[in-house]
Amino acid sequence: MPVRNTILDLFPVELLAMIKEYIPQGQLMTHINFYLSFPPVTPSLYGNDEQQELFWEKACAQAGLGYRQRELNNMQQVSWRRVVWEEIVNHLECDHVECGQGLLQFVSDAMESQITIDLNDCTRTDFFSVIPDSPDKFSNGTIVNPVLGFIHFPDKLPGINVFQFFERDMYLYDPKKKVQDPARQLLDLHPIAARSWATFPPSRRVLLSGTYHNQPLVVENVFGVTVWDVHLTLQRMLEDELSAKQLQQLLDGNDYRSVFPPECDFLTLMGSLTTLRQFLTFYRIKEIEFVDWDVSGLHLCCNFEPIRKANPKTKGYIY
């Protein structure tokens, strides 16, 4: 009897195909491992190039991964097969606390736990006709992506306007680092985090409060709002001047005495907090929490925590 060296000597392709069909399509990590386990019979299990492209598109959608904003104008050029093998697989070992394989498994599990109907034949284009983004109609509750609690932006001095491409102006705060390194922590370098949906189930329209603008910030994506979309919406508001009322509301709601001790000069304090970006040099977004669904969309709210303390003895005009 010949020696059996591989699993293909033990199991016929038909049995492997049956096993594949029992794996939920949204369990992307399991499909990646299964795909890599049997390279000689991959075409038999996952089809030809066109069939594989459609499979990975469906799998990414059901695993909670969406489009980046820059892709929405040319979606036909987006290869989800390439996204899986060049972006997702290459970043599974990311060491950020809310990225890598751990986040991929989290978003897959969140989608599976929240949406109880069979999505196996659901493409990205008809996703929201099957899963309407309305108050928990198909959901056991609403889960907010924990990555949203690590949104952050590089510091800039007031009055100094240095042009910055938005891709290089958004990064993931790392609680393990005493000194942040924005250039090495760019959200653009974390495709699993950037592409993952902001909430589960996803919504096409999110209204974000907590920054005390006159109206909630509106975040929209017809294929589901992602972490990237929320980051980008906040980034576009960073240089807006804070009114005295906004600033007072932000400070009153965020334990300002732990950041600005009583001996701080009031005028210097006001000069240090002219924009939302300046506020975020002293605080970071600790979490974004679910508030409610209504006819206008999904409501979320930012909560902040201090990350540094003002030095009352500064000799400049800002802290």
pLDDT tens-digit readout, 51-97: 999 999 989 998 999 998 888 888 888 899 999 999 999 999 998 98
Range of the domain at 63: 48-306
Is 110 inside any structural domain? yes
Is 13 inside any structural domain? no
- The model's pLDDT over 192-233, given as tens digits with 9 standing for 90+, comes to 999 999 999 899 999 999 888 778 999 999 889 999 999 999
H or E element: which one contains 270?
Answer: helix 266-272
Is 197 inside any structural domain? yes
- The model's pLDDT over 238-255, given as tens digits with 9 standing for 90+, comes to 888 888 888 888 888 888
Is 184 inside any structural domain? yes
Is the pLDDT at 8 greater than 80, yes or no? no
pLDDT of residue 1: 40
> Is 140 in contact with 116 (CB distance < 8 Å)?
yes
Place of tokens 């890598």: 100
The total of structural domains in the chain comes to 1
pLDDT of residue 172: 92
Is the pLDDT at 297 greater than 70, yes or no? yes
pTM of the shown model: 0.88
Which backbone phi and psi does 94 adopt, to 5 degrees? -55, 135
- The model's pLDDT over 134-191, given as tens digits with 9 standing for 90+, comes to 655 555 678 999 999 999 998 865 445 555 677 788 999 998 888 888 888 999 999 9
Is 233 inside any structural domain? yes
Is 27 inside any structural domain? no
pLDDT of residue 188: 92
pLDDT of residue 139: 55
> Is 185 in contact with 169 (CB distance < 8 Å)?
no
Is 254 inside any structural domain? yes
- Best CA proximity match to 186, nearest among 167, 203, 201, 200: 167
* CA dihedral over 210, 151, 285, 113, signed as positive or negative: positive
Is 23 inside any structural domain? no
